[in-house]
């Protein structure tokens, strides 16, 4: 009986640890995705070098 309780608690701990790892991985992936989106947005706000060159030579 005690062995079954201990096994149940150990299994519960393993499941909780796995879920925590999965949540951490999801959080890290979301942060990575947000960082990439921010970098891409910054790139969109940069002036077009070809257009700048055309303005200077025209």
User: What confidence tens digit (pLDDT) does each residue in 6-55 have?
Assistant: 999 999 999 999 999 999 999 999 999 999 998 888 877 777 777 766 65
| pLDDT for position 56 | 57
- Looking at the structure of the chain, the number of domains it has is 1
Q: What is the pLDDT of residue 20?
A: 97
Whether the CA torsion 17, 18, 23, 28 is positive or negative: it is positive
- Structural domain including 12 reads 1-57
Q: The pTM is what? A: 0.58
């Amino acid at each position: 009986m005690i062995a079954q309780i201990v096994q149940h608690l150990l299994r519960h701990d393993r499941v909780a640890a796995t879920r925590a790892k999965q949540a951490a991985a999801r959080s890290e992936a979301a942060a990575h995705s947000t960082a990439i989106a921010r970098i891409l947005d910054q790139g969109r706000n940069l002036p077009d070098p070809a257009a700048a060159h055309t303005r200077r030579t025209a």
